[in-house]
Amino acid sequence: MNRERNHLVAVDLGSTFTRTLVAEVLDSGEDASQLRFLGFGEAESQGWRKGTIAHLDPVSSSVKESVGQAEAMAGVSVESAVVGIGGPHIQGLSSRASLTLSSRPRQVSREDVRRVIESARHLSLPQDREILHMVPQEFSLDAQSGIRDPIGMQASRLEVQVYLLTGSVAASQSVVTAVNRAGIVVETVVAEAFAVGEAVVSPAERELGAWVVVLGGGSCEMVAYYQGGLRMAAVIPIGGDHFTNDVAVGLHTGLPEAEAVKKMFGSVFSLGSHDGISFEVPGLGNQPSRLVPRQTLMAILEPRAQELLGFALEELRRCGLEQRLGAGIVLSGGGARLHGICDLAEQMFSVPARLGLPSYAHAAEGNREQGTGNREQATAGAAASEGLPLRIVDLPETLDSPEYATLVGLLLYGFRVRRLRTAQRRTLPRRWKGILGRKSREGVR
């Protein structure tokens, strides 16, 4: 058996850490539904500024170091990977399209659905923007709306509403180039918040309304679901690095020391806190260290957290989703480890809030149709496989933390895309299968 074709790799290029996860597909058949953890690597990120790549070579070196660690643990050679992309350039918008089927009602086919979704893709975008993902929200048949899967139903006119996630062409190309320079072919580029949302939010939560907030180092990325579909995506240019900088300025200490203090003693919710606790803060230069009350640190962190969540609330209101969070808020990313962040979110939004953990992600239902962008064709109802949920067997407990949810989400998303490609190849004429296979091996770009 060809081992290279039987494992899957995800690379998360964060502005703080670069991480790699390697897993093995347990069943080589078309209905494979489980992955086994093989290896993990993590390297400090270099070459980033304000959530975007500022220097390619250091970024590529971080990728190479992270991948090398994962290869050594997994005992395999990594040649290709699913790669995440994020940052302030990610934007979302809606699009509609319609298709006249015939003068009299007839049965809607899979090809009809593909054609109408493709029509929704053709909207005017600036030349520096590209579609990363296209997710069908609902279909309409003649005068009947709110249909999830129209295949097999009768109509003379078919309409679709889709949600598009777009990104900067330059930013995406920079990520691909940095990974390529590390000797890795990019299989698929995935918007990170979308990967997290698809992994850690259950179908029941999507139906009631759920809001996923990924607190990264350079930015906060969000996606919201309602009535089963993706309804909003937005990015706020505030992340964990801003919290760390606030601590460094407020406590007059270095950035590494501020980061350590934030992780160990930081809290963004003052109610119920232990006001009597103090900790030692190293001074700058020749200045001596000193004891600082924890309450002082909270007075620095809490206003920044309130500002961040306040901006997020404005985005929800702008999209009309403020009152449509029946399932609550899911907080993920490294910033979600700040003590009290879930309590503060619950207080500000009056809905439940929980952490989005990889252990939840690998137990999530995985047979949903994945809407995709310009690298795979989105076809409603044509799921890559049916039945069993996706799982990652033997995932270490050390990775069961919100900062690794993005990495696990990327891996699961890539697995679904790989199965979808397999399903599509089975429906192609034989003369096209070799061409599609070569294109997949050559990478995205």
Determine whether domain 202-356 maps to CATH 3.40.50.1100: no
Query: Checking DSSP bridges between strand 328-332 and strand 353-355, what pairing results, if any?
Result: parallel
Question: What is the tens place of the pLDDT at every residue in 244-295?
Answer: 999 999 999 999 999 999 999 999 987 655 567 888 998 888 888 989 999 9
The stretch 186-210 carries a mean pLDDT of 92
Residue 243 has pLDDT above 50, yes or no: yes
Question: What is the tens place of the pLDDT at every residue in 146-182?
Answer: 898 999 999 999 999 999 999 999 999 999 999 999 9
Q: What is the pLDDT of residue 421?
A: 75
Residue linked to tokens 């590529």: 60
Residue 381 has pLDDT above 50, yes or no: no
| Least confident interval from 21-25, 158-162, 389-393, 439-443 | 439-443
Dihedrals phi, psi of 273, to nearest 5 degrees: -80, 165
Written out in words, the top-level CATH class of the domain with range 91-167 is alpha beta
Q: What is the pLDDT of residue 364?
A: 52
Question: Fold match between 4-89+169-201+364-442 and 91-167?
Answer: no
- What superfamily in CATH does domain 4-89+169-201+364-442 come from? ATPase, nucleotide binding domain (3.30.420.40)
Residue linked to tokens 């961040």: 308
Residue 373 has pLDDT above 60, yes or no: no
Q: Where are the domains of the chain?
A: 4-89+169-201+364-442, 91-167, 202-356
| pTM to 2 decimal places | 0.84
Task: Collect all residues with Cβ–Cβ distance below 8 Å to 96 and sequence separation of at least 6.
Answer: 120, 159, 160, 161, 162
Residue 374 has pLDDT above 80, yes or no: no
Residue 29 has pLDDT above 90, yes or no: no
User: Is there a contact between 187 and 440 (Cβ–Cβ < 8 Å)?
Assistant: yes
